[in-house]
Amino acid sequence: MTGSWEVRVHGGRSSGNARGVTRIVIVLLTTIAAIVSAAAAVGTSPYWWFAALPLVSLGALGGWDLVQREHSVLRNYPVLGHARFLMERIRPELQQYFIERNYDGRPFDRDVRSIVYERAKGTDAEEPYGTERDVYQPGHEFLVPSMAPCPVPEHPPRVRIGGPECARPYDMALLNVSAMSFGSLSANAILALNGGAAAGGFAQDTGEGGLSEYHLRPGGDLVWEIGTGYFGCRTEDGGFDAAEFADKAAHDHVKCVSLKLSQGAKPGIGGVLPGAKVNAEIARVRDVPEGRTVVSPPYHRVFSTPRELVRFIAHMRELSGGKPAGFKLCVGSRRQFLAVCKAMVEEGTAPDFIVVDGSEGGTGAAPLEFADHVGTPLTEGLLTVHNALVGAGLRDRIKVGASGKIATGTDLVKRMVQGADYGNAARAMMFAVGCIQAQRCHTNTCPTGVTTQDPRRARALDVHDKTARVRRFQEATVAGALQLMASMGVTDPAELRPHMLRRRVDPVTERSYEELYEWLEPGQLLAEPPASWAADWAAADPDRFTV
């Protein structure tokens, strides 16, 4: 589709358009009633009166337009002004299907959507006749092939999640389902995603909406995510219920536990679930009262300092029986993240994993200002987290996941070059279960049954078929990433290096990531911080989040 501004305005107009349609229907019904009454009054058959129905109706609609005060366009251009609202309503669809090129749509272009659909269906995902992209355009990135490619590994490598304090480490797949909650996604969508994870041997992040039966029933591996609302392990006053958390974290399908600090779509802001959407099932899953509006605050109650955060992650690991524990964030202040690193060093404990969400991520609805202008994009976020952990001597015990617009093997390889150990995908997995990027996720009117709680719409999503598609998409995407790495002379993601990814900086110059960015040495921040990091490292305080 088009850029985010137009689409969000389109989504926000739905109620206004509905009111306009209601007015037209009322005018037509009133006109028909008037015709029948008039015919009855003069004692003639009403049928010939209906020949005048279009003119009478348009006249009535025009009169309504002239006296209404909501739309200036309609007062100046009665009747004809409705064409403007109609065209505005269908503009995103016209843009997506008839105007945009294969490679310039947003948030995901047609090329990316097509390759996800094709891989999910198990059909041919190859393209003839060369690239349509301008390889001399500044910003174009490309991977560096080797003159001596390697054989593609027969079995995809996995990433061991679990540091020295973890009693029950987990081997994570290279690509997994990113955080999407039951409530934001339909029950059928959750069932299909988890079923695909079970069949393909990868993990699904539950999102912060609680641990539902739809996450558990298919038997796929789970990363149970806890947000600021502590849904699923919540006390009556909205605090963290340690006993309930321990009980649910002990479930065999829960392989890791995660604390969400922020998300890419809206870092630093909470959420509101209107009471009308809190039905009995969602209330039960989230431990909230049925029918009452639920607020997720932007901040956590379980910690207020970097040191308390690190201690709480260790507490989560203990409560879960030694399963890997970590946190997710959209990176903001480098100084604050360095404060967390200092707290890890001083406390002698650390999370087993950190998931970096880029500001380009966004399955959750968010205010325009946050979605477009708050938070660090995934590239810089990964580089910050990876280098901070390396410089603090912590990288070897903490695995890093990347979440933000990962849809192809190329995306996955790029993120691993930039410092990630594995990737998570949300919107690409939604494509795999049938999403068409209609961008009505927050309106409960999803046309494919993916992001709705409307039973009639959700039934359109066939769980058996979409389960297979999720598995095929993940399998083909990982295979594509391994094929790319083999062409680069690499058989394991740990062998990827910054010089293997290059970016064009102007029409005649391109540079490798090794040249474009600074890469710290292990323990460098502890010994002698480089000048570019020294001020932030000195100001980082493990006992407060310095702005």
User: How many other CB atoms are found less than 10 A from the CB of residue 442?
Assistant: 15
**Pair 389, 480 in one domain:** yes
Dist CA 203 CA 220 (whole Å): 7
Phi, psi (deg, nearest 5) at residue 372: -95, -25
Dist CA 513 CA 143 (whole Å): 11
264, pLDDT greater than 80: no
Cross-strand partners of 422 = 401
pLDDT for position 34 = 61
**Pair 178, 265 in one domain:** yes
The whole domain housing 174 covers 159-520
pLDDT digits (tens, 9 = 90+) for 442-456: 777 888 889 888 888
pLDDT for position 96 = 75
Confidence of residue 158 (pLDDT cuts 50, 70, 90): very high
Residue 277 within any structural domain of the chain: yes
Residue 278 and residue 291 in contact, taking contact as beta carbons nearer than 8 Å: yes
Q: What is the mean pLDDT of residues 525-533?
A: 96
pLDDT for position 114 = 87
Structure tokens that stand for 37 in this block: 């009454």
**Contacting residues for 37 by C-beta, under 8 A, at least 6 apart:** none
Dist CA 31 CA 58 (whole Å): 10
Dist CA 364 CA 521 (whole Å): 36
The total number of structural domains in the chain stands at: 2
179, pLDDT greater than 90: yes
Between residues 72 and 249, the one the model is more confident about? 249
**Pair 483, 359 in one domain:** yes
Q: Which of 68, 96, 124 is the last residue of a domain?
A: 96
Confidence of residue 41 (pLDDT cuts 50, 70, 90): low
pLDDT digits (tens, 9 = 90+) for 338-393: 999 999 999 999 999 999 998 887 666 667 777 777 889 999 999 999 999 999 99
Dist CA 403 CA 186 (whole Å): 21
Q: Which of 227, 230, 254, 252 lies closest to 241, judged by CA?
A: 230
**Pair 299, 174 in one domain:** yes
Confidence of residue 39 (pLDDT cuts 50, 70, 90): low
* Domain CATH number, residue 352: 3.20.20.70
Q: For residue 151, say if its preceding peptide bond is cis, omega within 30 degrees of 0.
A: no
Dist CA 307 CA 237 (whole Å): 25
Residue 122 within any structural domain of the chain: no
Q: Minimum mean pLDDT among 8-12, 106-110, 132-136, 158-162: which range?
A: 8-12
pLDDT for position 390 = 98
Residue 301 and residue 270 in contact, taking contact as beta carbons nearer than 8 Å: no
**Pair 459, 354 in one domain:** yes
**Pair 210, 78 in one domain:** no
Dist CA 466 CA 462 (whole Å): 6
pLDDT for position 546 = 85
398, pLDDT greater than 80: yes
Distances (CA, A) of 512 to 144, 381, 415, 417: 9, 18, 14, 11
Q: What is the mean pLDDT of residues 299-324?
A: 97
Residue 146 within any structural domain of the chain: no
The mean pLDDT of the chain is 87
pLDDT for position 311 = 98
Q: Which of 47, 69, 96 is the last residue of a domain?
A: 96
**Pair 224, 316 in one domain:** yes
Q: What is the mean pLDDT of residues 239-257?
A: 97
pLDDT for position 29 = 60
Residue 222 within any structural domain of the chain: yes
